[in-house]
Amino acid sequence: MSRTARPTGACDRHRSGGCCDQGLGLTATGQRAPRKDQVRNRRRLLDAARLVLAEQGPDLSIEAIARSAGVGATTFYRHFPTKDELVLHLLEGLAEGARQVAAEAADTADDWDAFRTVFTRGCALDEAELRLFDALCRTSARAAEQGRLIMVTLITPVTDRARSSGLLRRDVTAEDVAAFMRMADSTSDARQRQITHQVLLTGLRTHCP
């Protein structure tokens, strides 16, 4: 009795998972890709939360955030187990610009130039985004700690470099630098901000007699 030849091509792809994975909508890691409506609802929740938390303050409820996004609380919980999880996600998104500045500073050879880059450009947020960052940090102790950690993590490498090379006052910590950066960025216009940066940098730098 003769054996029927095994079809080539389609069966091989089936065994390797190639065509079947695509049909099931799986990602490269083998996980099912989110549906378009899931992606859309998550984006609506994040956008709505940015807006209403900035406008109405940190005490806004999950139900109010979901309502402003045009979804129900159940949909909110499908994407974020708690309000804290949503807030932490927003904080990480706001920190992206500062991370790019920190990466640029890390590639800067001169220690003081690297420090100055982060000090003058590390708060890579406009006025509205700064208010949002502050509002998010006030939603909970966990959010406040996460906001502090984001800033300190970005500032510590250049602070340590400048201090180790004897260019930065030894009594100044990364938390101090973060506070001075916020002080400068709270000024009302670009000219005042530039002068404040210059004055603070002069005071922070060590000067050999």
Looking up tokens 């190639």 gives: 18
Euclidean distance between the first and final Cα of the chain, in Å?
A: 101
**Which amino acid, one-letter code, is at 32?**
R
pLDDT in tens, 183-201: 888 887 889 999 999 999 9
- Looking at residue 168, what DSSP letter applies? B
In the chain, what are the domains? 36-81 (1.10.10.60), 93-204 (1.10.357)
Strand partners, 205: 168
What φ, ψ does residue 47 adopt, rounded to 5°? -65, -45
Tokens of 141: 């102790």
Per-residue pLDDT of 48-107, as tens digits, reads 999 999 888 888 899 999 999 999 999 999 999 999 999 999 999 999 999 999 999 999
Which DSSP string corresponds to 100-151? HHHHHHHT-SSHHHHHHHHHHHS----HHHHHHHHHHHTS-HHHHHHHHHHH
